A = this chain, B = another copy of it.
Amino acid sequence: MSASVFRNAMTLQFPSLSENESFARVAVAAFVSQLDPTLDELMDIKTVVSEAVTNAIIHGYEGRPDGIVTVRATIEGETVRIEVEDQGKGIEDIEQARQPLYTSKPELERSGMGFTIIENFMDETEIVSAPGKGTLIRMAKRIESRRKQALFN
């Protein structure tokens, strides 16, 4: 391990329009590309960002286009931390929300798998939420860079 650890960070903000789901996951993936992740790791990152941003738009702001979604990402050594935040509705029962297949919007054909996928694809997940205040999802994942794999294989 070298004494100086590479650090980087970025913040992204955009209104709660579904057009921005694709943009947000591509932007975070481009940021994480600095660590030379495998294609699978990049797909995991894209998927969890898509889940969290979609939730902010559908559940947090309930389809209103004027909410602000904030995405933060940091790189510290080999670890990527990602935060997705909204100032929307908030979650009343976080334990219930985390259950596989649980959704409060079955009429929108939601699968209720968003949080399950996030917790499966990331090493750490934390949900901070309060009704009327908004929701913050904190996630972290260690990236096994392709470069390193090539070195040790």
What is the 8 Å Cβ interface bit string for chain A, positions 1-37, against chain B (1 contact, 0 not)?
Answer: 0000000111111110101101100110011011000
Knowing A23-B31, A30-B23 are in contact, say whether A10-B10 is a contact too (CB < 8 A).
Answer: no
Interfacial chain B residues near A23, Cβ < 8 Å: 10, 27, 30-31, 33-34
Q: Is the CB of B8 within 8 A of A19?
A: yes
The oligomer's copy count stands at: 2
Q: Interface residues of A, CB < 8 Å — how many?
A: 19
**A77 CB to closest chain B CB, in angstroms?**
14
Nearest opposing residue in chain B for A26, CB measure: B30
Q: How far is the CA of A75 from the CA of B66 in the complex (A)?
A: 15
Contact in complex: B34, A30 (CB < 8 Å): no
CB-CB < 8 A to A20: which residues of B?
8, 10, 31
Q: A22-B30, A27-B26, A31-B23 are in contact. Are A8 and B12 (CB under 8 A)?
A: no
Chain A interface (Cβ within 8 Å of chain B)?
8-15, 17, 19-20, 22-23, 26-27, 30-31, 33-34
List 30 interface pairs A-B (beta carbons < 8 Å), by A numbering.
A8-B15, A8-B17, A8-B19, A8-B20, A9-B14, A9-B15, A10-B12, A10-B13, A10-B20, A10-B23, A11-B11, A11-B12, A11-B13, A11-B14, A12-B12, A12-B27, A19-B34, A20-B31, A22-B30, A22-B33, A23-B27, A23-B30, A23-B31, A23-B34, A26-B26, A26-B27, A27-B27, A27-B30, A27-B31, A30-B30
